[in-house]
Chain A
Amino acid sequence: MGQLAAFIILSAITLVATVVVVGSGNIVRSALSLVPAFLGITGIYILLQAEFVAGIQVLIYAGAITVLILFVIMLTEHGTGVRFRQVNEQVPLGMIAAGALGAFLIATFLTTPWPMATGSLPPYTASQIGTTFMTNMILVFEVTSLVLLVALIGAIVIARRER
């Protein structure tokens, strides 16, 4: 019961912040509303006993990506960009598409019988995640680090000023 109440509060925070992100005419307000949205999702992860993923979510999403987005807004839009029209002419079409997709997904989720398992997660998952990354998932780990390096160099090359 307490878990359900916590879930409802966290998803209300997340959804309200997300609606502000999607609908606000001021792009700085959108970017700052990403922080409560990501923190609400962090609470959802903690409800799902994924404390390591929750910590990484705070560090990378709520910390790094939001700051990066804010910096790019400051560098491109002459500040807040409130003088510009923020939406294109596809608003009704986009509403129909997003609403139809959401309704379809929710209907599918409500009618599909999921194969529920009875086991439970280990009480502290971080050490097991580390062990799995270093044994079974070593290829995934290495390829991800390579992709990170390529993205780093690519971002520097693309954003560098041509001379």
Chain B
Amino acid sequence: MQLGLVHFLILSAMLFSLGLYAVLTRRNAVAILMGIELMLNAANINLVAFNKYVAPDALNGQIFALVVITLAACEAGVGLALVMSAYRNLETVHVDEINVMKW
């Protein structure tokens, strides 16, 4: 059995599902951010795999993956700053206790 595109796609689908599970069930905002990072990694695996197997003439998939990594770093920085700010003002990082905007 030869290593093909479908193997990478299945791995990324599993990673994405696990990240989604973390986002849906975790209470801690930092753990939710970790789930988002896992989902972005799954998307990156898809991009690089499609670049190799479907469109190997140009490197657009790898370039897109690099842009996604940069934006993930931005998202982690801003998200963790928001977590710090919420902890300072509300003294919790659990998202089910942060409900000051709930009417």
Contacts and interface: CB of A to CB of B under 8 A. Distances in A.
B21 A34 contact: no
A contact residues, range = 35 or more
Contacts of A148: 70, 73-74
Contacts of A159: 80-81, 84-85
A52 B5 contact: no
Interface string B19-50: 11110111110110111011001001100110
Nearest to A92: B25
Contact of B26 (A50, A88, A105, A144): A88
Contacts of A64: 73
Nearest to A15: B14
Contact of A105 (B1, B17, B55): B17
B16 to A, nearest CB: 7
Nearest to B93: A76
A158 B63 contact: no
B3 A3 contact: yes
A140 interface: yes
B24 A94 contact: yes
Nearest to A33: B34
Most buried by A among B1, B51, B63, B70: B63
B10 interface: yes
Contacts of B34: 21, 30-31, 34, 69
Given A15-B15, A48-B8, A69 B30 contact: yes
Contact of B5 (A21, A94, A116, A161): A116
A53 B48 contact: yes
Interface of B: 1-3, 5-11, 13-22, 24-28, 30-31, 33-35, 37-38, 41, 44-45, 48-49, 51-60, 62-63, 65-67, 69-78, 80-85, 87-88, 93-94, 96
